[in-house]
A = this chain, B = another copy of it.
Amino acid sequence: MEREPCGRAGCDCPKVRPESGFLPHLFKMTLTFEDFPPGRLGTFGPRQVTREEILAFAAEFDPQPMHLDEEAAKRSMLNGLAGSGWHLCAIMMRMMFDGFIGRTTSLGSPGVNELRWLAPLRPGDELMLDVDVTEARVSKSRPKTGIVTFKGVVRNATGQVLCEMISPIIVSRRASVVTKEAG
């Protein structure tokens, strides 16, 4: 019986999740630019979202009635209490961190190219995150780094897409590759 932890930061699950497209031999490695060729990176989750979390985030950052007040939310376009879109983004960030960014030589992100909120985040939702690399290129201004553009798609347990995001991240290249080029 496989008892190895899967290697994702903060995860104590006993094995590699079958839904992940991530290669098992990469699970304990630090990931660099070279580990992100264009294509499917993996599927991460599930992450359950509680009513308490939704209310706490809304109270602090986005206290609109549809995010805080059950009755007002029922009368709203969202037809019931729904988490803030910014809460969903923050949860997606954490899922990406736990999934791969926590083990990646990430230097930060210059921003988000596109972000779509497509369906409401509901209390009790179990979220899954699909991540693809849409582009990966070496930086011209900082040749020891590359820019990896990720597309993240968050779904609930019924498969409905709640959110899509396309965002570049700056990632260090493997030292051996950079040294070889310089030599």
The chain A residues found within 8 Å of chain B, CB to CB, are 9, 57, 60-64, 66, 76-78, 84-87, 89-91, 93-94, 97, 101-102, 106-118, 170
Contacts and interface: CB of A to CB of B under 8 A. Distances in A.
A164 B66 CA distance: 25
A117 B109 contact: yes
B62 A106 contact: no
Main DSSP-derived SS at the A contact region: mixed
Contact of A84 (B9, B91, B93): B93
21 contacts: A60-B90, A60-B94, A61-B93, A62-B97, A63-B94, A63-B102, A64-B97, A64-B102, A64-B106, A77-B107, A77-B170, A78-B108, A85-B109, A86-B89, A86-B90, A90-B90, A108-B117, A109-B117, A111-B116, A112-B112, A114-B114
Contacts of A113: 114
Contacts of A107: 76-77
A134 to B, nearest CB: 17
B117 A111 contact: yes
A181 to B, nearest CB: 21
A117 to B, nearest CB: 5
A43 B40 CA distance: 42
- Name the residue in A62, A76, A102, A118 with the highest tally of chain B Cβ atoms < 10 Å from its Cβ: A62
9 nearest CB pairs, A to B: A111-B116, A112-B115, A61-B90, A77-B107, A111-B115, A61-B94, A86-B90, A62-B93, A86-B93
**Which of the listed residues A9, A90, A110 has the most CB atoms from chain B within 10 Å of its own CB?**
A90
A152 to B, nearest CB: 13
